[in-house]
Structure 1
Amino acid sequence: MSNYSNQDKILEILHNDCRLPLEEISVMTGIAAQEVAAIIDDLEKDGTILGYGAKINWDKAAGPDSVTAYIELRVTPQRNQGFDRIAERIYQYPEVKSVNLMSGSYDFGITVEGSNIKEISLFVSQHLAPMESVVGTATHFVLKRYKFDGIVCSQPEKDEREVISL
């Protein structure tokens, strides 16, 4: 961490575990706790820190079932508005969890969550595909998560069967 600024050190620590007390972050960074608090406050005010939350393995949680899909979107940007206006229209939908401008054969990578595959399919066909600037979509459904945001979600199950040899 020695090449990082104080802000970068704090951001990395918070990204890994945002529940750490200021005093522990102070010890980890060598920065006084009051200065850590001031840096975090500034990062929240300037929009660098957007929020805090738990990283949840929804496959194990007893909550409602949900389906995640990654949607690739090819668009024709509008004159004098570029990609920003299109992205703004897309991220307004509550089903949309992330929107990224991409390089490659598609312009946007969009993460969408719904209660089932049909709900996501309807969202794509009724909201995304009909947009005047959209020229193509490709939808990929998540079947199983192995690693999410740097954390391994599911380990392969151990084979508990007894080995029998003759």
Structure 2
Amino acid sequence: MKINKEEREILEILEKDARLTASDIGKMIGESEQLVQAMIKRLEEERILVHYTTLIDWSKVEDDERVTAMIDVKVTPKRGVGFHETAERIYRFKEVSSVYLMSGAYDLSVTVEGKSMNEVARFVSEKLSTLDEVVSTTTHFQLKKYKHDGKIFEEKQIDNRIVVSP
């Protein structure tokens, strides 16, 4: 779908801060609140604007034991549908938070969240690897998140100590 300059601006603004109101966005791009609301509605209906999200640093929340794994999946594509049908089967699992078709040695990149490494391992061995189209998997566990969706999780600390030299 072709979008106009104002719609592109709206998308870029919302990508940076989805909490802004139509009134605020209208002031930023020089359009009325009603026109901005209409453009946002159109972008939502066309599924260009898919979802509004919040980015949370769960590592700072006590007693939150989430484990995230990125799994490279080698797949045998099905005749007539390619990778689409397999990707759809995979993204329907509740443990899966994202699926991407990739270039390179593996076909799909699957992000999985669980309560423990064991839970993720069970998902891979009991659900993912049992699919007929899945040839192989490689699982990478996320140890620390530095940056996600363009946002840095920990700003560099400035060392304010006085340098002492002999």
After the TM superposition, list the runs of 4 or more consecutive aligned residues in structure 1 that deviate by more than 2 angstroms.
61-64, 155-166
Distance 1:56 1:71 in 2: 22
| Per-residue deviation, residues 111-162 of structure 1 (Å, max 9, x unmatched) | 1111111111111111111211111111111111111100000134556777
Letter paired with 1:37: Q
C-alpha separation in 2, matches of 1:149 and 1:110: 17
Summarize deviations over 1:77-128 as a string: whole Å, max 9, x none: 1122211110110000111000000011100011111111111111111111
- 1:23-102 equivalent positions in 2, closer than 5 A: 23-62=23-62, 64-102=64-102
Structure 1 residue runs of 5 or longer lacking an equivalent are: none
Distance 1:24 1:156 in 2: 31
Instruction: Give the % identical residues.
Output: 44
Residue pair 1:146, 1:155 contacting (<8 A) in 2 also? no
- Partners of 2:63 and 2:98 lie apart in 1 by 21
Q: Distance in 2 between matches of 1:66 and 1:13?
A: 30
Task: Name 2:115's counterpart in structure 1.
Answer: 115
Residues in 1 aligned to 2:158 and 2:95: alpha-carbon distance in whole angstroms: 36
For 1:46, give the aligned amino acid. Answer: E
Q: How far apart in 2 are the matches of 1:108 and 1:38?
A: 36
Root-mean-square deviation over aligned CA pairs: 1.8
Q: TM-score, normalised by structure 2?
A: 0.90
Q: Is the 8 A contact 1:75 1:136 kept in 2?
A: yes
Q: CA deviation at 1:70?
A: 0.6
How far apart are the structure 1 equivalents of 2:111 and 2:26?
Answer: 36
Task: Tell me which residue corresponds to 1:15.
Answer: 15
**Structure 2 SS opposite 1:94:** coil
Amino acid at match of 2:43: L
Cα deviation for residue 163 of structure 1 reads 5.3
Q: CA deviation at 1:30?
A: 1.5
Tell me which amino acid in the other structure corresponds to 1:150.
G
What is the alpha-carbon distance in structure 1 between the residues aligned to residue 53 and residue 61 of structure 2? Answer: 15
* Structure 1 residue 57, shift from structure 2 partner: 1.1
Other-structure match for 1:128: 128
Aligned to 2:59, the other structure's residue is in SS state: coil
Unaligned runs of 5+ in 2: none
Q: Which residue of 2 aligns with 1:5?
A: 5
Q: How many residues align?
A: 163
Judged with a 3 Å threshold, the aligned counterparts in structure 2 of structure 1 residues 5 and 110 are, in CA distance, closer, same or farther, namely same
